Amino acid sequence: MNSFNSALGKNITFVRPAYFIISGFSGIPNIKYYYVFLCFVYVVSVLGNTVVMAVIYLDHNLRTPKYIAVFNLAFVDLLGSSALVPKLLDIFLFNHPYISYNDCLTFLFFCYTFLTMQVLNLVALSYDRLIAIMHPLHYQVKVTHRFMLSLIASFWVFIIIAVLIAVGLLTRLSFCRSVVINSYFCDHGQMFRLACNDYTPSNVFALFLIVLVLWFPLSFIMLSYVCIGYALSKVATAQERYKAFRTCTAHLSLVAIYFIPILITFTMSSGIHPNVRIINLSLTSVFPPMLNPIIYVLQTQEIKASVKKILKVRIESKLKVRKVIIK
Task: State mean pLDDT over 150-175.
Answer: 94
* pLDDT, tens digit, 9 for 90 and up, residues 198-245: 889 999 999 999 898 889 999 999 999 898 888 888 776 777 777 777
Between 75 and 183, name the one with better pLDDT.
Answer: 75
Cβ–Cβ under 8 Å, residues 25 and 278: yes
Alpha helices in the chain (DSSP H): 2-11, 31-58, 65-92, 101-134, 139-142, 145-170, 188-192, 200-210, 216-233, 238-246, 249-267, 274-299, 301-326
Query: Is residue 299 scored above 70 in pLDDT?
Result: no
How does residue 160 score in pLDDT terms, banded at 50, 70 and 90? very high
Query: Is residue 28 scored above 90 in pLDDT?
Result: no
Query: Is residue 5 scored above 90 in pLDDT?
Result: no
Query: Is residue 90 scored above 60 in pLDDT?
Result: yes
Q: What is the per-residue pLDDT for 2?
A: 43
* pLDDT, tens digit, 9 for 90 and up, residues 109-139: 999 999 899 999 999 999 998 998 888 888 8
> For the whole model, what pTM was predicted?
0.85
Q: What is the per-residue pLDDT for 7?
A: 41
Q: What is the per-residue pLDDT for 268?
A: 64
Q: What is the per-residue pLDDT for 59?
A: 83
Question: Taking the domains of the chain in order of start, what are their residue ranges?
Answer: 17-326
Q: What is the per-residue pLDDT for 184?
A: 85
Query: Is residue 298 scored above 80 in pLDDT?
Result: no
How does residue 318 score in pLDDT terms, banded at 50, 70 and 90? low
Mean pLDDT of the chain: 83
Q: What CATH number is given for 17-326 in this structure?
A: 1.20.1070.10
